[in-house]
Structure 1
């Protein structure tokens, strides 16, 4: 797992871009989520939650903790991007008073 501020992304004439974070990758699919309830845990189905490709979360609003392999390892807040590596069991847990709002993206290598 890597965490960085959106302001740390390489600048581009159209603004920050993610190619500096994972060069050679493009977005495979993604979406936008809003969770109003405090304590929300992403991917809260039984068992491990992993992907065969990197997953990026860009936190638009809210804050909380990052859980990897069942342990809370770091915190997150709005304005940050969290990159989970392939095979990492990962979750975000909302702990703030504001609703958790984020964009998620599964990336795949460019061939």
Structure 2
């Protein structure tokens, strides 16, 4: 896992906003999530309902509002807040935990060599 602040992102006018910190020519998929207070993302969504969530590529979390923690490999917990950019490395079991007092709004995305199917 790597962390940045929004103001550390490159001033880009071509390609995607994360191209200097995340591999992949194009943003391939993602979404916007309004997490419930105290929610832990991806709980028990692994194969057979196990509590395990990994990707073969990097994933970025852009914390747009709120605060919470990122849990990595069930042993490391890192605080996050508005303005943080978190890059999850391939193979890291990861879960975003939303604060009870100030729930997280997060933009998440993956990047890859080709555009999203809706852009082709």
TM-score, scaled relative to structure 1: 0.85
Where does structure 1 differ by over 4 angstroms across 4 or more consecutive aligned residues?
none
In the alignment, structure 2 segments of 5+ residues that lack a partner are 45-49, 115-120
TM-score (norm 2): 0.79
CA offsets per residue over residues 12-57 of structure 1, 9 Å max, x none? 358x9211112544211100110232x1111112331001111101
More strand by share: 1
1:70 aligned partner: 74
- Aligned-pair RMSD on alpha carbons? 2.0
**Structure with max Cα Rg:** 2
Residue number among 91, 98, 102 corresponding to 2:95 in the alignment:
91
Aligned to 1:19, the other structure's residue is in SS state coil
- How many residues of Structure 1 are paired with residues of Structure 2 in the alignment? 108
Unaligned runs of 5+ in 1: none
SS of corresponding position for 1:20:
coil
